[in-house]
């Protein structure tokens, strides 16, 4: 059973556009929701994270929107750039010993 | 600052051969340690995690095993590799509190 469902699997966005990646979860015990960015051949790197006590967190061009009642959270990349082309993973954790990852979204930002 | 190392970076092994991948963390003590496998174009599959020396939790039944002989060392092993063991193996650490995981550079394993 997949604990975190991520969509879309792939995404093509024009430079300057907004990239939106969505994740949904079932376990209401989850209390930490990070997003990771992975470039080919590299390990994932933490991008931004949120806890369920806030509905939005913004860091530069990256924003997490969190809907606790719907058990959904999303990543918005504003003014998308070709350098943002990577695979993005959402994740969720509730005991900080185990993290459950989404299946990933491959983002391609066209110049 | 904390640093996580993995080696080797790339490995090509024949089917049936043994495997040993090593992960070490610097700059922290008593970290939680994790092994993940990522198949080509796929997500991250948690294989093992450890909250202390000698404490290993297995998430997926398989022919792989993990050991933690020292506080900041995590080893992934196999006695006999299968073709399906090919993939990108990632080690990660976390402080165990309200912190996220930090990933190593990964080892790309190709079993032929």
Tell me, yes or no, whether A18 lies in a domain.
yes
Tell me the mean pLDDT in the region B7-30: 95
Of A44, A97, A100, which is closest to B103 when you measure between CB atoms? A44
From CA B13, how far away is CA B1, in angstroms rounded? 34
User: Per the CB < 8 Å rule, is B42 touching A106?
Assistant: no
pLDDT interval class at A44 (50, 70, 90): very high
pLDDT of B62 strictly over 70: yes
Q: List domains and CATH numbers for chain B.
A: 3-111 (2.60.40.10)
Tell me, yes or no, whether A94 lies in a domain.
yes
Write out pLDDT tens, residues A68-85.
Answer: 999 999 999 999 999 999
From CA A48, how far away is CA A74, in angstroms rounded? 11
What CATH number does residue A25 fall under?
Answer: 2.60.40.10
Closest Cα to residue A75, out of A1, A11, A2, A3? Answer: A11
Q: Residue holding tokens 């092993």?
A: B77
Tell me, yes or no, whether A74 lies in a domain.
yes
Structure tokens given for A83: 């350098």
Query: Residue B112: how many CB atoms within 10 A of its CB?
Result: 10
Query: What pairing do the DSSP bridges indicate for beta strands B73-78 and B64-70?
Result: antiparallel
Of B49, B94, B106, which is closest to A42 when you measure between CB atoms? B106
Domain that holds residue A26: 4-104
Mutate to test the interface with A, among B10, B43, B58, B108 (most CBs of A within 10 A): B43
**Cross-strand pairs, A102:** none
Tell me the mean pLDDT in the region B32-41: 87
Q: Does the CB of B42 have a partner CB in chain A at under 8 Å?
A: yes
State how many domains chain A has.
1
- Nearest residue on chain A to B50, alpha-carbon basis: A97
Write out pLDDT tens, residues A2-34.
Answer: 789 999 999 999 999 999 999 999 999 998 999
From CA B35, how far away is CA A22, in angstroms rounded? 25
Tell me, yes or no, whether A31 lies in a domain.
yes
């Amino acid at each position: 059973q997949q604990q975190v469902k991520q969509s879309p699997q792939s995404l093509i966005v024009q430079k300057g556009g907004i990239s939106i990646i969505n994740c949904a979860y079932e376990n209401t015990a989850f209390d930490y929701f990070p997003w990771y960015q992975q470039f080919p051949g590299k390990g994932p790197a933490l991008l931004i994270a949120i806890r369920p006590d806030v509905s939005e967190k913004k860091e530069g061009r990256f924003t997490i929107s969190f809907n606790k009642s719907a058990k959904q959270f999303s990543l918005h990349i504003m003014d998308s750039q070709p350098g943002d082309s990577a695979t993005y993973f959402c994740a969720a954790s509730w005991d900080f010993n185990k993290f459950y990852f989404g299946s990933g979204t491959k983002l391609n930002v066209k110049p | 600052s904390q640093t996580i190392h993995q080696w080797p970076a790339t490995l090509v092994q024949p089917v049936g051969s043994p495997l040993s991948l090593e992960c070490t963390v610097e700059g922290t003590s008593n970290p939680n340690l994790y092994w993940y496998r990522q198949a080509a174009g796929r997500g991250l599959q948690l294989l093992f995690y450890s909250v202390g020396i000698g404490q290993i939790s297995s998430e997926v039944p398989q022919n792989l095993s993990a050991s933690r002989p020292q506080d900041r060392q995590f080893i992934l092993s196999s006695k006999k590799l299968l073709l399906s063991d090919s993939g990108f193996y990632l080690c990660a650490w976390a402080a165990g509190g309200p912190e996220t995981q930090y990933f190593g550079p990964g080892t790309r394993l190709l079993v032929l």
